[in-house]
Amino acid sequence: MTITVCTLSKHSNESRHAEMLKQALLESEPALSHPDIKLEIISDLYLPGRQIDLVLLYHDRRAEDLLLKTTDGSLIHSFVQIIEVKNHSSDSIQFRGSSLEVSYNGKWHNATEQCDQQTYAFKSFQNSSMRGSERLDSVFVQKAIWLARAPKTSLPLPQENSSVPVHFSKISWLDLVDSQEKSYFDKNRIQAFFKNPKYHNLETLSARLTYKVTPTKLDLQRINALTKMRFDTEKTQYIQKLGTGLLLLRGRGGTGKTMSLIQIGLHLARQGKKSLIITYNHGLISDISRLLFLIGETDKSFSHSNMPQIQTRYSFGQDLYEKTFSKEAEKEIRRIGSLDVRERTRLQKLFEKEKLESDFDYVLVDEGQDWKPEHRDFLYKVFGSSHVVVADGVDQFVGSDRCQWDKADIKINRRHSLKSSRRTKGATCQVVGDIAEELGIKDWDLEPDPEVHGGRFTVLVEPNARAAVNTSLDIIDRDLERTNYVRYSDNLVCLPSTAMSGGMNYEKLFDLAIKDKERNSWRGFDEKDRRQYVRQHDQLKAIRYNSCRGMEGWTTICLGLDTFFDFQMRKPGLNKSEIENQLKARDGFFFSETALDEEYKKRATEFAVNWLMIPLTRSIDHLVVHIKDEHSQLAQTLRTISDRSPGVIEWV
């Protein structure tokens, strides 16, 4: 039998449909049992933010004259197809224009758009690296919707040609292939796989798609902490009052703000409520998506369908705009100006609507300190302030104006301060506090967790960037030898961009070092890789400093941290004219250019220090800071702390 079924999820909803499809195809085309034809049906594929019901991988390795054909005589060589399965009865299905819609709880949902989004997610998955920086080119993906319980005669024909092929309950092999698109290179055949080794083939795709993502022991610790049903006394109070007012969680890096949002989302899921986590950080989205997938696989009280969802603010605005107006209206927006202009245009038009409706009951906002008032008010309009939970990073403020969420005219559930470090071990946490004090953060209140002992702080002084990268990987290897349960993927490397490092390409050096050591990595600094989560335990996580918020590593390496800090000092992203106007309004006749320069320098320092504290609070056990220039300001700060308290910092 050459048709095989692979079910990826422990709690599979679609394995039965995969078996039904296999049987229908074999009955309608017995030749599919030929040993030189291979058809894999993969069910319940979970990619970041998307669940795909069925994926078909087909390849006929026989000679041209033996290939199966479509009704019009086109050869069927190979194809990759995703199928969105709808189990609705005919009464809950309708065609609207070129789209098919299905009803959930009395509301119509666009299944065609859902299938399109899944196709995009699948293509993005193909484009990501396979091992380290090695990647293969993607192949064309067919798409379809299968109405598994609806006979074709039970529905009126669509008024327009559907943009996604729709199949009905009695599906056949010819139904499937006759609706597929022909090859871009040959309009007389259906072909996805080529002899060219730069493209994916059935084997490479199958290996990636069917790889079982499993948790490390550190993942299991997080999962146990997140899914516990009993809360401490303080948390119980605001959990019980969810929906009565704004919940504001404030804390410094490592106090567990993001984990608290996830825990609240899981609690809401148990109550039958749908929640959306919003952040702008794609690396963090991948990290959380992986964690939620693992929770769905390991905890029977959850299913993948009721998990909290996670999006960027921008994509949420896109989706809501398209839902409120139309797909064509959203296409018009995408044709204008920059991303900022598009977002402002969407917000303006959405604010004009009397009422906005979302599919979610609650919104959980990450990094709320860097939002703008118009974005805050937009969420209040959609959800109501009582159904908003905000994680506000105290030291992680890097914008020009801190957003004030707890306005005087809204109800407040609680302003809850998180002070204990839930990530970084005690000794490391204390050194980070010393750095904060030395750099002028007077109210630093991140307290070491008294129950979490240990932790190490190492400074690597190395002017040669390539040597620093190699030494850093050696440090991670030694740390892994010290523990029985930490895996490569539990660690994190933070990198400055080329602009920040004065032209030094740390990302390329990292890729070279990984390749030389025959290791594997998750390249969060790459646009194509950042949107896919870590799938294998041997993938070392690497990310740019600008995207490291919310992430963590057992051992965290901060490469070129002094160059990153100096860059933020030089280019803080401040508007000097705006500061000048503020000072003129405050000082009037006594305004001076000297005062302006001093104020600008003061704010630039605050900006840079705030950014510095973000990577310094990413480690769990061991923080390694690479210093490229031993005379830099950060190097001198670390020397001062080391001289004052010998032994707290190890120098390499």
- Please give the full DSSP string across 100-125, using - where no structure is assigned: EEEEETTEEEEHHHHHHHHHHHHHHH
Contact, 618 vs 428, CB < 8 A? no
pLDDT tens digits, one per residue of 326-366: 888 998 999 998 888 999 999 999 999 999 989 899 999 99
Q: pTM for this one? A: 0.92
Assign a CATH topology to domain 217-418.
Answer: Rossmann fold (3.40.50)
Interhelix angle for 506-516 vs 465-482, to 10°? Answer: 50
**Cβ contacts of residue 15 below 8 Å, gap of 6+?**
5, 7, 43, 44
- pLDDT at residue 159 in the model: 62
568, exposed or middle or buried, with CB in 10 Å at 0-12, 13-18, 19+?
buried
Distance CA 169, CA 152 (A): 7
- pLDDT at residue 452 in the model: 77
Contact, 225 vs 328, CB < 8 A? no
Query: What are residue 167's phi and psi, to 5 degrees?
Result: -115, 155
Return the number of other C-beta atoms located less than 10 Å from residue 303's C-beta.
13
Q: Which helix (H) or strand (E) holds 527?
A: helix 527-530
Judge whether 217-418 and 426-651 match in fold: yes
Question: CATH for 426-651?
Answer: 3.40.50.300
Distance CA 139, CA 117 (A): 17
Q: Which helix (H) or strand (E) holds 478?
A: helix 465-482
The three-class DSSP label of residue 47 is strand
Contact, 312 vs 282, CB < 8 A? yes
The three-class DSSP label of residue 41 is strand
Where the chain has pLDDT below 70, the residues are: 1, 10-12, 159, 233, 395-401
Distance CA 625, CA 616 (A): 8
Structural domain boundaries in the chain: 3-209, 217-418, 426-651
Identify any residues that bridge with 619 across adjacent strands, giving them in sequence order: 553
Q: Which two tokens stand for residue 159?
A: 């008024």
Contact, 418 vs 249, CB < 8 A? yes
Distance CA 592, CA 596 (A): 6
- pLDDT at residue 105 in the model: 80
Distance CA 424, CA 404 (A): 28
Distance CA 32, CA 3 (A): 7
The residue behind tokens 């005589």 is: 73
Distance CA 622, CA 540 (A): 15
Return the number of other C-beta atoms located less than 10 Å from residue 368's C-beta.
26
Q: Which helix (H) or strand (E) holds 389?
A: strand 388-393
The residue behind tokens 């950060």 is: 634
Please report, for residues 42, 49, 340, 433, the alpha-carbon distance to residue 60 in angstroms, rounded to integers and kept in the order given.
Answer: 18, 32, 48, 63
Pairing of strands 619-627, 309-311: unpaired
Distance CA 575, CA 190 (A): 56
* Residues, the chain: 652
